A and B are shown apart, each in its own frame.
Chain A
Amino acid sequence: MLPVYEGFQRHNSLVGGASLWVMQGKSRGEYQAAAAFLDYVASRAEVEWMPTVTGYIPITNAAFRHMQETGFYSRPGFAGRETAITSLTFTPPNENTRGIRLGNFTSIRSELTSEMQAAYTGQKSVQQALDDAVARGNQILRRFEQTMRGRQLP
């Protein structure tokens, strides 16, 4: 795992990546199909296949334990991949490390990325870059709020 500065406490790393959503207002048959699909995606064979061919993490703890037991992480080609799981589950997630769910999150993330690039390339101080990212993110959230006005979000 990446080192942390002395005097700082290590927390679990933030989960990112894609997510699947089932939208409301569909017919019963469509929900049955969606449920069957989610069931398939979360089945152990699928969950284990994905990390094997892509290097991504297994998305369920059960699959991770099973892969440990069958010696996946001690095989030469795959050793070291368990570091990602160790990092993600290092501490129980708290308010700041449980992953982010925001309106137009992809926009906000890309603003953050651009501002961090500005900081890393020396165009801004880190504090300035983070302040700017907050300001940009808030503008995006205000637009999202206005777009979704009067709507109850799940």
Chain B
Amino acid sequence: MSGKRVTFKNFWLAILLILPQLFLVFTFFYWPAGEALYWAFTLEPPFGGEQQWVGWQNFETVFADPLYWNSVKRSLLFAFSSTALAMGIGLLLASFVDRQLAGYKVYRFIYFWPYAVAAPAVGLAFRFIFAPDAGFVSAINVWFPGLWNPALDGFDAMVLIVLANAWSMVAYNFIFFLAGLQSIPRSLVEAGAMDGAGAVRRMRDLQLPLIAPTFFFLIVINITDSFVNSFGIVDITTGGGPARATDLMVFKIYSDGFKGKDYSLAAAQSLVLMLMVCALTFIQFRFVERRVHYS
């Protein structure tokens, strides 16, 4: 890239203006992350005192633990299924609104709302709605006794948190897909329609390839979000249970660190999680992005 670089005459004023934000980022992100890096190589007494340097021992403990690999497996399952669900439904809703079906102006407005609801609130709502004994969904158990019980059945519990997470991410995906679809020139879609391509055909061969950059962006965001942002939902709905069926990596970090007071083990796990999310994002850029054409 060549060309003029943007320069500011009032450099020091600019620095002064971004300083508060940098301070916040440093205090709540870089500093704790650096501290976690140090803790991961020490044994940290929970109520202060001298820590001991133990090298790679925390990581060896983490990797030797079959239950840790269980939580990695559950996290991957959770991330991929909630991403697929949230993006599928988001795209479907966006294409309905893009085709200007009845009432689309209202829907365009309200579909974004769920994203504004905080994860613990989502968890609480889903916990009530999907409660096997008294919730709205418990009607299923009237018709098919014992079919739905996230407190006893690990599969049901996983379905519950996937649904809750997908519900809040659908809104986000919807807005991006809608923006992508609306940026496609109408004439292209209309030309396709005149040549006899149906709605599904136009979506598959025309609109999806054209919004591929949006699609790729959303995959990265959704997977990252499912890995790092699922704590609120798990904590409120299932608490990692039953029998560790929903013990996602972030939740295990929380329960080992803040409940179990083993800060070192939690710090090691959080580093592994960070590297894993980086690796997943790298893989997506390396292999998926190649097939994306930016116009």
Contacts and interface: CB of A to CB of B under 8 A. Distances in A.
Given A143-B61, A148-B45, A149-B52, A114 B241 contact: yes
B267 to A, nearest CB: 13
Interface in A106-154: 106-107, 110, 113-115, 117-118, 120-121, 123, 140, 143, 146-149, 151
Contacts of B255: 107, 110
Contacts of A147: 43-45, 52, 262, 264
Contact of B260 (A115, A123, A140): A140
A115 B240 CA distance: 12
B47 interface: yes
Interface residues of A, number: 20
Contacts of B242: 117, 121
A104 interface: yes
A23 B45 CA distance: 14
Contacts of B243: 114-115, 117-118, 121, 123
Interface in B239-282: 240-244, 247, 255-256, 259-262, 264-265
A110 B47 contact: no
Contact of B153 (A121, A148, A151): A121
Contact of A107 (B152, B153, B256): B256
B47 A23 contact: yes
Contact of B49 (A113, A118, A121, A151): A151
Contacts of B192: none
Nearest to A113: B241
Interface string B26-50: 0000000000000000011101010
Given A106-B261, A107-B260, A114-B244, A121 B52 contact: no
Contact of B43 (A107, A121, A140, A146): A146
B259 A106 contact: yes
Contacts of A143: 43, 61, 262, 265
Given A117-B241, A147-B44, A104 B153 contact: no
Interface string B62-84: 00000000000000000000000
B120 interface: no
Contacts of B241: 113-114, 117
Contacts of A115: 243
Nearest to B258: A106
A148 B54 CA distance: 13
B42 to A, nearest CB: 9
B213 interface: no
Contacts of A123: 243
Nearest to B242: A117
B88 interface: no
Contacts of A23: 47
Contacts of A107: 255-256, 259-262
Nearest to B65: A139
A114 B240 CA distance: 9
8 contacts: A104-B260, A106-B259, A107-B259, A113-B241, A115-B243, A121-B154, A123-B243, A147-B262
